[in-house]
Every structure is written in C-alpha cells, then in structure tokens.
C-alpha cells in the first residue's frame, strides 16, 4: 500500500471498537483479571502490543497509536512516551551505560544537549559533539567505548542536512547504534530505516499531533533494537496520557495533507523572504543555493514548514517592533501545529564543535496552514516596521 493509504488504515480496528472509526480513549491504571490463571498468563504477555496488563504498559489507545506509527515509519515496533524529550532520553539510555561514549551532533535540539551535559554526565557517559556535515569522517571520532551516534537532520535552528547513510555505514562497521531525531521530516519525508537508522525518534507533539494541544513522543526501531528501547521506556515509567495519545493517533490521519501544505507554504514564504533586503540568509534545505540542498534532494521526499532566517544587522528595538506587531506569526515555542510561529533564536549558545557567526539576529519560522499570501503580507508589514524603527 502507498503511504497515503497507510496513513489512513494503519493501526485501526473498528470491529474491535463497536464499529467506531477511531479507538476509544481508555483511561486505565488497574486492569482486572477474572482468574488466577488469567492473571498469571498475562505476565508473560505484558509487553505485547495488544495485551492489557497494567496502565503503564499501555492500553488499546496506546497500542493503536504505536501500531500505526510503526507501520507508517516502516519499522518493527514503536513505543509511545510522554514527550519528545522523554523519547530522546529513553532511546539514549537504552544503549548507554556508565563508561560509554556518545557522539552527539553539534546542532541537536538544545534540551537534547542539556541531557548529555547534565543527566548523562552524572551517570558516567562521555559525550563528544560533532559537526553535522562530518559524513563518513565520523570514523575519526569513534572510540572503542563509543556506543551511540545520535543524529538530527536537519539540525535544530540552523537546518544542516546530515549524510545519514554515510554515518550509518561507518557506525555499523564499528559496532555503534544510530539514533535519529526525525521530528522535522517525519517518516513521510525521510524514511529512517532505508538510510541505516536503527532507532527513529519523533516529538509527536509537533507534526503528528499537529494542533499544538498535546505532549507526546514516539520511538520506532528495527527488530533487533526494540527490546532494549521498550525496557528503557518501561524503566522510566512515563507513558503518554490517554487523551494525548488519542490526539496523536487522530493527528496521524491528516499528517500527509497537512505536511504537503506546510511544505508548499514554507517554500513560498522562504522564496519571498530571499528577495527582501532586510534578510541576509534564508536557511531552508529546499532552496537551491542552500548548502544542504543536494543531500536533501537525494534523501528527502519533502520539507516541513520549519526553517531559519538571518536578518541583516539590526537593533534589538527594531527586531522587537517587527515581532511584537505580527498578526499571524505568533511567538511561542514548539512548532508543527496548524498555526504560524516566529521566534528569535541564538544558535551560538548551543554549539561547541562548529561556529555560527551570522551578520544579524537569527529567527525560526514555522509556516502554518494559513493562506500563504496573508502570511507574506504579515511578514512584509513586519519587515517595514523593522526598517522604520529607530535604533534606540
Ligand atoms: C527537534 C526536536 N526534538 C525534540 C523535541 C522535544 O519534544 P517535546 O517538546 O515533545 O518534548 C523538540 C521540541 O521542540 C524538537 O524541536
């Protein structure tokens, strides 16, 4: 079946739910067993993806979501957790122990970096940050104790595209596991397991939920990696709440049409921004002159609506005048919802293996599902405010 069909059918079982199209929301901690035999029998099946045992191990709502994501991602199985950040921590700790070494991409999402510098350091794991453009040269950084290579492509805030195939080939020849934060592309635009990824992580909070109203993370793996990830997830004991996982499985059904629109609008807005004199650079891998463009063309099936922007040098006042007056692009963290967002970022704060020295402030834009012309008009008025505001 083609992907758009899978998006609709995966993980659904109306017959098991009195004909309802979507699975009901099960609120459950205790699961009751009719006999000692049934109680005992359930223990050996408690990690199956269709057996209820105790709420923390999942309910039919969770199973429906996990089955759908695994199928759509092209993985073996998926496990849902309480947030994207929780998914990253679970996946890392599934493969790392005290004394191990981790290779972390320098452009990782800030809180991922914070996990390495804080939590993992505390438990005796050493991290080396690497240049996202390193490709097969990553072999020079692998030590005998390196266990995991963590990738995020494109990188948070600065959108570098990684050569995942090259990294995975080296990683596997040296006994390392490849993790990917695939939140930006989702498996609709980047097929993780076709590129050698062992464990794919998504902050489902973003595009999968798609409406900025739930926190959810999901980890999909190859067959050989699943047990360790599931064990770690159960150890953390942080399953998603039933309403949030329901919203995740519901959001999945429209992911394809939403992403298509996010991509078209994002590219239209990015192209327009490129022509504006106040803009030094539009950082979008879908633009032909951007450094990651050829790898993006080779490996990706599309681009989401999240990209970066570097302004020409300007004052704090002028930037505030631009952003404070936006009507459609609102300021707020996260992305992937139906609404457009814009936030100032400071990628200099978050890197040690690479440098980021833009001429002016960096912004992150998420193009939502509004009319692209209206979004461009909003930005045009914002840039006019930027240009007309005195420095102090
Ligand atoms: C690339 C990326 N990964 C992971 C996360 C974490 O997701 P959550 O907010 O659900 O914890 C985010 C959140 O902004 C993100 O941008």
Give the contacts of 200 (CB within 8 A, at least 6 positions apart).
Answer: 73, 75, 179, 180, 182, 187, 192, 193, 219, 220, 221
> Are both 261 and 245 inside the same structural domain?
no
Q: Are residues 164 and 267 in the same domain?
A: no
SS (HEC) of 287-306: CCCCCCHHHHHHHCCCCCCE
Residue among 87, 206, 337 to mutate when testing ligand 1 (max atoms within 8 A of CB): 206
DSSP conformation letters of 52-110 = -SSGGG--HHHHHHHHHHHHHHT-SEEEEES-HHHHHHHHHHHH--TT-EEEEETT--H
List 105's β-bridge partners, or say none: 130
Is the same domain home to 208 and 265?
no
**For 151-185, what is each residue's pLDDT tens digit?**
999 999 999 999 999 999 999 999 999 999 999 99
Q: Catalytic: 181?
A: yes
**Catalytic residue flag (residue 53):** no
Is 206 part of the annotated catalytic residue set? yes
Query: Residue 136 has which token pair?
Result: 């097969």
- Same domain? For 346 and 233 the reply is no
Domain end residue (candidates: 235, 252, 269)? 252
Compute, in angstroms, the gap from residue 65 CA to the centroid of ligand 1: 19
Q: Does residue 231 sit in the same domain as residue 282? A: no
Largest CA distance in the chain: 78
Q: What is the mean pLDDT of residues 230-257?
A: 98
Within a 10 A sphere around the Cβ of 292, how many other Cβ atoms? 25
Tokens of 319: 């930037």
To the nearest 10 degrees (0 to 180), the angle between helices 242-252 and 60-73 is: 30
The pLDDT tens digits of the residues spanning 82-135 come to 999 999 999 999 999 999 999 999 999 999 999 999 999 999 999 999 999 999
Please provide the average confidence, as pLDDT, over all residues in the chain. 97
Structure tokens at 212: 């900025």
In this structure, the answer to whether residues 228 and 278 fall within a common structural domain is no
DSSP code of residue 120: I
Residues of the domain holding 155? 3-252
Does residue 349 surpass a pLDDT of 90?
A: no
Same domain, 199 and 216: yes
**Do 326 and 356 fall within a single domain?**
yes
276 close to ligand 1 (CB < 6 Angstrom): no
State yes or no: pLDDT of 391 exceeds 80: no
Question: Is the domain of 295 the same as that of 181?
Answer: no
Mean per-residue pLDDT for 295-311?
A: 98
307 and 246 together in one domain? no
Q: Per the omega criterion (within 30 degrees of 0), is the bond before 216 cis?
A: no
The answer, yes or no, to whether any atom of ligand 1 lies below 6 A from the CB of 217, is yes
CATH number, position 313: 3.90.1150.10
Ligand 1 contact via 334 beta carbon (within 6 Å)? yes
Across residues 4-28, what is the average pLDDT? 95
Structurally, the chain folds into a number of domains equal to 2
Question: Crossing angle for the helix pair 84-95 and 223-236, nearest 10 degrees?
Answer: 110
CATH number (domain holding residue 246): 3.40.640.10
Residues 56 and 174 in one domain: yes
Decide: 77 and 49 in contact? Cβ < 8 Å. Answer: yes
Same domain (yes/no): 262, 214: no
């Amino acid at each position: 079946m083609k992907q758009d069909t899978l998006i609709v059918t995966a993980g659904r079982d109306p017959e098991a739910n009195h004909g309802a199209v979507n699975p009901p929301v099960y609120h459950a901690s205790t699961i009751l067993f009719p006999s000692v035999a049934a109680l005992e029998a359930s223990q050996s099946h408690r990690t199956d993806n269709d057996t209820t045992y105790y709420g923390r191990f999942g309910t039919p709502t969770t199973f429906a979501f996990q089955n759908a994501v695994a199928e759509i991602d092209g993985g073996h199985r998926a496990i849902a957790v309480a947030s994207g950040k929780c998914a990253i921590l679970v996946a890392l700790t599934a493969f790392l122990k005290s004394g191990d070494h981790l290779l972390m991409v320098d452009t990782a999402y800030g809180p991922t970096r914070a996990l390495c510098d804080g939590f993992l350091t505390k438990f005796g794991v050493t991290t080396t940050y690497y240049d996202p453009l390193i490709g097969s040269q990553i072999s020079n950084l692998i030590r005998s104790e390196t266990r995991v290579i963590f990738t995020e492509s494109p990188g948070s805030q600065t959108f570098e595209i990684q050569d995942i195939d090259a990294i995975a080939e080296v990683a596997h020849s040296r006994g390392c596991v490849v993790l990917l934060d695939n939140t930006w592309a989702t498996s609709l635009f980047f097929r993780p397991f076709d590129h050698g990824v062992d464990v794919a992580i998504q902050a489902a909070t973003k595009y999968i939920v798609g409406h900025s109203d739930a926190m959810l993370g999901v980890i999909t793996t190859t067959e050989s990696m699943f047990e360790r990830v599931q064990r770690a997830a159960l150890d953390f004991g942080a399953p998603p709440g039933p309403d949030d996982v329901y919203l995740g499985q519901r959001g999945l059904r429209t992911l394809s049409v939403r992403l298509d629109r996010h991509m078209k609008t994002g590219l239209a807005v990015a192209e327009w921004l490129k022509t504006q004199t106040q803009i030094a650079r539009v950082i979008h891998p879908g633009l032909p002159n951007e450094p990651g463009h050829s790898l993006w063309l080779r490996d990706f099936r599309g681009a989401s609506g999240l990209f970066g922007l570097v302004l020409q040098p300007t004052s704090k006042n002028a930037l505030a005048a631009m952003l404070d007056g936006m009507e459609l692009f609102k300021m707020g963290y996260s992305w992937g919802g139906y609404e457009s967002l814009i936030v100032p970022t400071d990628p200099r704060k978050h890197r040690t293996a690479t440098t980021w020295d833009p001429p002016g402030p960096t912004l992150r834009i998420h193009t939502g599902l509004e009319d692209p012309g209206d979004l461009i008009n909003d930005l045009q008025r914002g840039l006019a405010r930027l240009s007309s505001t005195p420095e102090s």
